[in-house]
Structure 1
Amino acid sequence: MKTTTSATITATIPTPYKRKQINVDGGFNMEEEEKKIVGIMTDGVSNGFYGVDPFFLKWTVHDMVNVAKHHWLPCFFGFGLLFFMAVEYTLPMVPASSPPFDLGFVVTRRLHGLLSSWPELNTLLAALNTVFVGMQTTYILWTWLVEGRPRATISALFMFTCRGILGYSTQLPLPEEFLGSGADFPVGNVSFFLFFSGHVAGSVIASLDMRRMQRWELAWTFDVLNALQVIRLLGTRGHYTIDLVVGVGAGILFDSLAGKYQECIRSKSIAAKEAFFS
Structure 2
Amino acid sequence: MNGAGKPSSVKRRANNHTTPANGVKVANGAMAKTASTHFSDASFMKWTVADAVHVATHHWIPCLFALGLLFFMGVEYTLFMVPPSSPPFDLGFIATRHLHAILESSPDLNTLLAALNTVFVGMQTTYILWTWLIEGRPRATISTLFMFTCRGILGYSTQLPLPQEFLGSGADFPVGNVSFFLFFSGHVAGSVIASLDMRRMQRKELAWTFDVLNVLQAVRLLGTRGHYTIDLAVGVGAGILFDSLAGKYEDSKRKGAALTTKHDFS
Instruction: Mark yes or no: TM-score above 0.5.
Output: yes
Distance 1:181 1:35 in 2: 78
| Equivalences, count | 251
TM-score by length of 2: 0.90
Equivalent position SS for 1:194:
coil
- Percent identical among aligned pairs is 74
Identify if the C-alpha distance between structure 1 residues 35 and 257 changes in structure 2 by more than 3 Å, giving closer, same or farther. Answer: farther
After superposition, the C-alpha distances for 1:23-45 in whole angstroms (9 at most, x for unaligned) are x97432337x7259x9x885996
Contact 2:166 2:225 in 1 (8 A): yes
TM-score by length of 1: 0.86
After superposition, the C-alpha distances for 1:97-146 in whole angstroms (9 at most, x for unaligned) are 00000000000000000000000000000000000000000000000000
Q: CA RMSD in A?
A: 2.2
Structure 2 unaligned residues grouped into runs of 5+: 1-10, 19-24
- The correspondence for 1:121, drawn from 109, 112, 117, is 109
Amino acid at match of 2:74: A
Distance 1:237 1:207 in 2: 25
Corresponding residue for residue 166 of structure 1: 154
Equivalent position SS for 1:193:
coil
Equivalent position SS for 2:26:
helix
Contact 1:35 1:41 in 2 (8 A): no
Corresponding residue for residue 243 of structure 1: 231
Contact 1:182 1:189 in 2 (8 A): yes
Deviates further, 99-108 or 68-77: 68-77
Larger radius of gyration: 1
After superposition, the C-alpha distances for 1:195-253 in whole angstroms (9 at most, x for unaligned) are 00000000000000000000011000000000000000000000000000000000000
Distance 1:72 1:63 in 2: 13
The ranges of structure 1 where at least 4 consecutive aligned residues each deviate by more than 6 angstroms after the TM superposition are none
How far the C-alpha of 1:48 sits from its partner, in A, is 3.4
Corresponding residue for residue 17 of structure 2: 30
Identify if the C-alpha distance between structure 1 residues 35 and 198 changes in structure 2 by more than 3 Å, giving closer, same or farther. Answer: farther
Structure 1 unaligned residues grouped into runs of 5+: 1-23
Identify if the C-alpha distance between structure 1 residues 41 and 82 changes in structure 2 by more than 3 Å, giving closer, same or farther. Answer: closer
